[in-house]
């Protein structure tokens, strides 16, 4: 009897030990997102990315705008998994080619960053992390805050083009829908107001604006600004080959600063969402506060970028480390 009990006890403890072992092994495989994920596997990774972002910015200032816009277009669509970067295949349309992605640019320079990282540590650093870290360093390049961000994201294998419109609001979306979509990621109202401050840099093409100018001018627009917009966008149907656009912030077009909030309060917001952010009673108080305080804007912006960058990542053994950011690895 006693020996039988002992036998069962031994069996049970063996089981417990092996259970604990697999649990900790799983933990070792998947710590989730952490600070300095590559500190042992590729200690230079973050420095290489920072240096590449800096060099590219010296040659092409607008690369930084792209890195900032990319984090929204990748992370807000289900997961920060670099699905945005995949090219179309015979079977699927790329996210880059959808209407919401209009104007996204500089992807070949993201490949430049990836190649530099691959030269040092082949097959180690994900495109998803490179996309997020380039955004962090791009934000600093345009005068924004330094935001410490975690790493350990892995790359998805497929385009999310067919669901993209359920996540990315259109240029004329209502504030209710915008708040709802960001809310689903855990980003609150001041967070949304701060993120839209990204429209303090870069440009908007006439195709996204002409409905506010033709057949008649949107009376909500500042008349002084209308003059400039009509000058930049002289045709109701812009020539798709001509690159016609208006700068998002005429005052400080190259700087991420709170001038965006003064612009939208002055009815100089280019997109309907920008304009409504300054008029909707839920968002207006934060717009006013950010227009007054750059510190408050940066604080909320940093908080919201952090949440956005941690949206539903693939970690551990999920996904893969892509060799090239524009194509999924071949399955063996």
Ligand X SMILES: *[C@@H]1O[C@H](CO)[C@@H](O)[C@H](O)[C@H]1NC(C)=O
The residues annotated with a catalytic role in the active site are: 73
Query: Does the footprint of ligand HEM cover residue 178 (CB under 6 A)?
Result: yes
Q: Which residues of 193-210 are buried (b: 16+ CB within 10 A; e: fewer)?
A: bbbbbbbbbbbbbbbbbb
Query: Does the footprint of ligand HEM cover residue 199 (CB under 6 A)?
Result: yes
Strands (E), the chain: 203-205, 245-247
- Other CB atoms within a 10 A radius of the CB of residue 267 amount to 18
- When binding is defined by CB under 6 A, the residue of 166, 172, 312, 317 that contacts ligand X is 172
Phi, psi of 155, deg, nearest 5: -90, 140
Cα-Cα-Cα-Cα torsion 285, 186, 75, 100, nearest 10 degrees, comes to: -50
Q: Which of residues 54-83 bind ligand HEM (CB under 6 A)?
A: 62, 65-66, 68-69, 72
Residue 180 has which token pair?
């709802």
Gap between the Cα atoms of 14 and 57, Å rounded: 58
- Other CB atoms within a 10 A radius of the CB of residue 149 amount to 19
- When binding is defined by CB under 6 A, the residue of 45, 84, 141, 201 that contacts ligand HEM is 201
For the chain, report the end-to-end CA distance as a whole number of angstroms: 54
**Residue 294 binding result from ligand X, ligand HEM, none, given CB thresholds of 5 to 8 Å by partner type:** none
**Residue 69 binding result from ligand X, ligand HEM, none, given CB thresholds of 5 to 8 Å by partner type:** ligand HEM
Helices in 197-244 by DSSP H: which ranges? 223-232
Query: Does the footprint of ligand X cover residue 166 (CB under 6 A)?
Result: no
CB of 178 to ligand HEM, least distance (A): 5
Residue 325 has which token pair?
């950011």
Q: Which of residues 104-123 bind ligand HEM (CB under 6 A)?
A: 105
Residue 233's alpha-carbon distances to 69, 100, 212, 217, 220, in angstroms, are 23, 20, 11, 12, 18
Query: Does the footprint of ligand X cover residue 170 (CB under 6 A)?
Result: yes
Of 270, 276, 279, nearest in space to 211 by CA? 270
Q: By the 8 A CB rule, do 133 and 151 touch?
A: yes
Tell whether residue 83 is among the known ligand binding residues: yes
**Residue 193 binding result from ligand X, ligand HEM, none, given CB thresholds of 5 to 8 Å by partner type:** none
Q: Which is nearer to ligand X, 211 or 292 (CB)?
A: 211
Tell whether residue 274 is among the known ligand binding residues: no
**Residue 209 binding result from ligand X, ligand HEM, none, given CB thresholds of 5 to 8 Å by partner type:** none
Residue ranges for the binding site for substrate? Answer: 169
Binding site membership for heme b: which residues?
A: 199
Please enumerate, by residue number, every residue annotated as part of a binding site: 74, 77, 81, 83, 95, 169, 199, 249, 252, 257
Binding site for ligand X (CB under 6 A): 170, 172
Residue ranges for the binding site for Ca(2+)?
Answer: 74, 77, 81, 83, 95, 249, 252, 257
Interface residue list for ligand HEM (CB under 6 A): 62, 65-66, 68-69, 72, 102-103, 105, 169-171, 173, 178, 195-196, 198-199, 201-205, 208, 271, 273
């Amino acid at each position: 009897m006693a020996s039988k009990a002992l036998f069962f006890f031994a069996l049970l403890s063996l089981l417990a030990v092996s259970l604990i072992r697999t649990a900790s092994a799983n933990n070792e495989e998947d710590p989730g997102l952490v600070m300095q994920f590559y500190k042992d596997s590729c200690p230079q990774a973050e420095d290489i990315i920072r240096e590449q972002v800096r060099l590219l910015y010296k040659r092409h200032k607008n690369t930084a705008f792209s890195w900032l816009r990319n984090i929204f277009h990748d992370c807000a669509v289900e997961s920060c998994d670099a699905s945005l970067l995949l090219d179309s295949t015979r079977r699927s349309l790329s996210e880059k080619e959808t209407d919401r992605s209009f104007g996204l640019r500089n992807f070949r320079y993201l490949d430049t960053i990836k190649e530099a990282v691959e030269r040092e540590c082949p097959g180690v650093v994900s495109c998803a992390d490179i996309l997020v870290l380039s955004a962090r360093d791009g934000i600093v390049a345009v005068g924004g805050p330094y935001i410490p961000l975690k790493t350990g994201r892995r790359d998805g294998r497929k385009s999310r083009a067919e669901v993209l419109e359920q996540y990315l609001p259109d240029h004329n979306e209502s504030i209710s829908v915008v708040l709802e979509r960001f809310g689903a990621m855990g980003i609150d109202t001041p967070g949304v107001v701060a993120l839209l401050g990204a429209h303090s840099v870069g440009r908007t093409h006439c195709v996204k604006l002409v409905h506010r100018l033709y057949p008649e001018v949107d009376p909500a627009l500042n008349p002084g600004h209308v003059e400039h917009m009509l000058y930049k966008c002289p045709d109701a149907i812009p020539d798709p080959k001509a690159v016609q656009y208006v700068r998002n912030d005429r005052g400080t077009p190259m700087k991420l600063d709170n001038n965006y909030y003064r612009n939208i309060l002055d009815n100089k917001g280019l997109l309907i969402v920008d304009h409504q952010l300054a008029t909707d009673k839920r968002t207006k108080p934060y717009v006013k506060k950010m227009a007054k305080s750059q510190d408050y804007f940066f604080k909320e912006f940093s908080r919201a970028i952090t949440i956005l960058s941690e949206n539903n990542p693939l970690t551990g053994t999920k996904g893969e480390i892509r060799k090239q950011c524009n194509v999924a690895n071949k399955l063996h």
